[in-house]
Structure 1
Amino acid sequence: MTWRPAAGWQPLTSGTGQSNVGVWRTPEGWVVKRLVPGVDNPRHHAYWRRQPLLAESRLLEATPGLRSPTCLKVEWDEGGATIWTAEVSPATDAAASPAANGRSPGAGDPLFLAVALGRFAQAHVPEPSWGARDVLRDRLATVAGRGGWGALDPELPADLRHVVRDLWVRRDAALAELDALPRVPTHGDAHPGNLIGRDGEDVIAIDWEQFGLAPTGFDLGYLILAVDLPLDDLLAAYALADRPPNGEQEPSNRMTAANLHAVRRGAVLTAAYTAISRAAWSLTQPDPGDHLTRLLHLSNLIAEANGEPTR
């Protein structure tokens, strides 16, 4: 029997990607996401079963900093899986965070999000057998199969063009550098559109398709690409994860200077390779969007990725 949404369900988003059929709100206030079979490698970033498995496990419903919506149920059938979760309403305001300097940050406040990502990265989360690994390596392999970044050459100023060429040539060395960094719990697609809900100092995040343990700084690298604050500001907020909210005990794994050095390097490499790949891909699309403009805006970060990180 073919799966269909029930009458009276309100569509929230249409299907995105090969596995996501769509998302609906039920009259009772639940959010229902329908997934169909796709990539079947449990470690691949697009593994189609990851989101229902994560919801079913409730592994991240109480993690600090970032957590998943409460799961009502997961229904499996021959045609796919259906996830029922509590609705996450976009926050219009949130309790003041240490990064906000006494002001109350809005729903998309990048500093508030950076603090939350830092707290989540320090959480003790066991790695499930279906958690994503090697997201950037998989994505760069796809880019290589499409011919690399060559289409960007005529669109870039000479100095940035040379840096981008160097980064492509040394991509295996960059991936090895990321492999050597500590691995931490990672949302995998940490942009404000997915980090929408608030509960005190925590963020309720949606779309956990790429969840796993990744090099430290990975989520911060994705956030850099989606906001207009300097890396130094975001990194300073991320470091405030060491400051426990609401009188809780101090974390045992303090964010030392060496830890922050690793976070910065992970964020810079993740952001640089992702931004360049997005810009190269956008040139093949009817509507390229602002990916190339954002790449040019991040030229200093791209240069940092190709050399020693700023101390």
Structure 2
Amino acid sequence: MPWHPSPDWQALTPGTGQATGGVWRTPDGAVVKRLLPGVEDPRHHAYWERQALVASSRIVAGTRGLRTAECLGVERDVDGITVRMAYVAPSAWAPEGLAAALGRFAACSVAEPAWGARDVLRDRLATVERRGGWSVLTRASRATPAIEALWKHRDNALAVLDALPQVPTHGDAHPVNLLGRDGDDVVAIDWEQFGLGPVGFDLAYLLLGVEVPMDELVAAHGGEGREVRRGTAIVAAYTGVSRAAWALTQPDQGDHLARLARLSGVVEEAAQIVVPR
């Protein structure tokens, strides 16, 4: 019999992950996420089983700074995987508090699992390249010398990131995923892209989702400031420009172009880092 949600479950979202088939809240207070088969490469950022493996392994159930909610069960069937987690109540977080939590998480020692995401930005840029790169920004007169330099020297940017300390990363540290609170630590959801990545990776995603300057977030994050700043600037610049280029191909462009304009200083700084001297 095909899997289907119970009629007394409340739908929370249709799911935004590539492998997510829906999210519901049950009458007993659990959250159920349905995962559907998709990308099979366990190192790819969109590997379809990763959220279930994060939950069942409890690899980040007790980490400092950032952790998962309690896993209540993982069930597999021929059509997919059903993950049950404890409900995470939303909590008000200042961006600086989130940055500090991400810094403590990055300082944790977590053994890399065989299914952890790797090379997320490299994979994403390869996809952008197959789709024509950032040429749409040039055609729309939105490209700047710094943007053009970033695209030309993207291989050097990836080499800089590879040389940075590789730390535990949530992979999609947007404020909507940094949801709950346990003291000074964050209870996060949607660990689809968890793995090891360059220091500053998670902070870059946070930067793209808040209105706080990078200086303040880097200071709150802590750690080796120069390395954190380099990782944050590069990941934020490449991700922000790629999102803006994608937005120009969509009927609803959202706020990606406005965010790119606000990110101009970070884009300039990233270009200064990656352009060979």
TM range (shorter): over 0.9
1:288 aligns with 2:253: yes
Q: CA RMSD in A?
A: 1.2
In structure 1, what is the equivalent of residue 55 of structure 2?
A: 55
Q: Are the equivalent residues in 1 in contact too, given 2:18–2:46 (CA < 8 A)?
A: no
Q: 1:236 aligns with which of 219, 223, 226?
A: 219
1:183 corresponds to = 166
SS in structure 1 opposite 2:171?
Answer: coil
- Residue number in structure 2 paired with 1:152: 137
Corresponding position of 2:104: 119
Q: Provide the C-alpha distance between the structure 1 equivalents of 2:165 and 2:19, rounded to a whole number of angstroms.
A: 31
State whether structure 2 residue 177 is matched by structure 1 residue 194.
yes
Residues of 1 paired with 2:45 and 2:263: CA distance? 25
Partner of 2:267: 302
Deviations 1:237-270 (A, max 9, x none): 111xxxxxxxxxxxxxxx3xxx211110000000
1:129 aligns with 2:129: no
**Aligned equivalents of 1:16 and 1:225: distance in 2?**
18
Q: CA deviation at 1:16?
A: 2.6
**Stretches (4+) displaced over 6 A:** none
Could you tell me the TM-score, scaled by structure 2's length?
Answer: 0.97
Query: Which residue identity does 2:227 align to in structure 1?
Result: A
- Aligned-partner Cα distance in 2 for 1:16–1:275: 19
In the TM superposition, what is the alpha-carbon distance from 1:155 to its structure 2 partner? 3.9
Determine if contact 2:39/2:48 at 8 Å carries over to the other structure.
yes
* Structure 1 counterpart SS, 2:267: helix
Q: 1:300 to 1:156 in 2, by over 3 A?
A: farther
| Secondary structure of residue in 2 paired with 1:193 | helix
Contact 2:65 2:100 in 1 (8 A): yes
Gaps of 5+ in 1: 92-106, 240-254
Alignment of 1:1-311 (within 5 A): 1-91=1-91, 107-156=92-141, 161-239=144-222, 255=223, 259-308=224-273
In structure 2, distance between residues paired with 1:221 and 1:156: 25
In structure 2, distance between residues paired with 1:230 and 1:156: 26
Aligned length: 274
With normalisation by structure 1, the TM-score equals: 0.86
> What amino acid does structure 2 have at the position aligned with 1:296?
A
Deviation at 1:154, TM superposition (A): 4.2
Identity value in percent:
60
